[in-house]
């Protein structure tokens, strides 16, 4: 560049960096050099105060440590943690159908059973009439709605069978716990002819 060429706006000169009076070194460089020892000091003080005591997961190995690198690890952890279903609708309904009897057994009223069966039937109808998305439609929908009256009758039968099994187990337990009649004194019995 020659002196005749126009220059851009001139920058103001940088202010001089602060220097440490004792060492004459740059203060910023000295702070960076001492940062590691400061962090160590903070950790030691926290340990002495007990800030790291009773942390969740203490004493247990870190899960998936040393496994091969998986770029989708966070998606898999999210699906596992949030219990997200990634099944096609037909398979999700089949799974729900397989678990429905156990769910109904936890319901305590007949009206609750009817309501749960109605919810299941609504999910079946939605999956049946929703067109498949994506290039691969997935398996066909073969699960059918359930009749609420039949399900209530089956629920009653299972509940009666469970109650009878509990009653029999309780009777057997009571019979096993009854003390046997024993004589406390091991003396000799008198025979009728001796009396």
Structure tokens at 159: 């509940």
Residue 167 belongs to a domain: yes
Q: Pick from 88, 190, 175, 103: which is nearest to 139 by CA?
A: 88
Mean model confidence pLDDT for the chain: 81
The confidence score (pLDDT) of residue 109 equals 93
Q: Is the predicted pLDDT of residue 76 greater than 70, yes or no?
A: yes
Q: Is the predicted pLDDT of residue 100 greater than 90, yes or no?
A: yes
Residue 181 belongs to a domain: no
Residue 153 belongs to a domain: yes
Least confident among 47-51, 75-79, 186-190: 186-190
Residue 159 belongs to a domain: yes
In sequence order, which residues have a C-beta less than 8 Å from that of residue 142 and are 6 or more positions away? 90, 94
Q: Are 91 and 139 in contact (CB under 8 A)?
A: yes
The confidence score (pLDDT) of residue 2 equals 56
Structure tokens at 7: 């220059």
* Predicted confidence (pLDDT) per residue in 151-184, tens digit: 999 999 999 999 999 999 999 888 888 776 666 6
Q: Are 113 and 107 in contact (CB under 8 A)?
A: yes
Residue 95 belongs to a domain: yes
Q: Are 89 and 137 in contact (CB under 8 A)?
A: no
Q: How confident is the model at residue 110 (pLDDT cuts 50, 70, 90)?
A: very high
Q: Is the predicted pLDDT of residue 75 greater than 70, yes or no?
A: yes
Q: Write out the residue range of the structural domain in which residue 139 sits.
A: 87-176
Residue 144 belongs to a domain: yes
What CA–CA distance (Å, rounded) separates 138 from 88? 6
* Predicted confidence (pLDDT) per residue in 116-149, tens digit: 999 999 999 998 888 776 667 778 888 999 999 9
What CA–CA distance (Å, rounded) separates 99 from 93? 10
- Distance set, CA 115 to CA 32, 120, 124, 174 (Å): 66, 9, 14, 38
* Residues in a beta bridge with 19: 26
Q: Is the predicted pLDDT of residue 62 greater than 70, yes or no?
A: yes
Residue 114 belongs to a domain: yes
Residue 75 belongs to a domain: no
More confident residue, 54 or 191: 54
Q: What is the domain count for the chain?
A: 1
The confidence score (pLDDT) of residue 98 equals 92
């Amino acid at each position: 560049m020659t002196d005749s060429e126009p220059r851009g706006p001139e920058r103001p000169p940088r202010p001089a960096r602060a220097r440490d009076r004792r060492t004459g070194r740059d203060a910023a460089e000295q702070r960076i050099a001492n940062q590691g020892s400061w962090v160590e000091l903070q950790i030691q003080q926290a340990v002495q105060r007990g800030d790291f005591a009773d942390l969740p997961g203490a004493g247990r190995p870190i899960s998936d440590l040393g496994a091969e690198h998986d770029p989708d690890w966070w998606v898999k952890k999210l699906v596992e943690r949030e219990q997200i279903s990634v099944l096609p609708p037909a398979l999700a309904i089949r799974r729900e159908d397989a678990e429905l009897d156990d769910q109904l057994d936890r319901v305590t009223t007949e009206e609750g059973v009817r309501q749960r069966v109605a919810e299941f039937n609504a999910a079946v109808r939605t999956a049946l009439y929703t067109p498949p998305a994506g290039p691969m439609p997935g398996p066909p929908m073969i699960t059918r709605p359930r009749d609420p009256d039949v399900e209530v009758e089956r629920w009653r039968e299972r509940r009666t069978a469970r109650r009878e099994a509990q009653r029999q187990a309780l009777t057997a337990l009571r019979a096993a716990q009854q003390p046997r009649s024993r004589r406390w004194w091991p003396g000799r019995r008198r025979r009728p002819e001796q009396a």
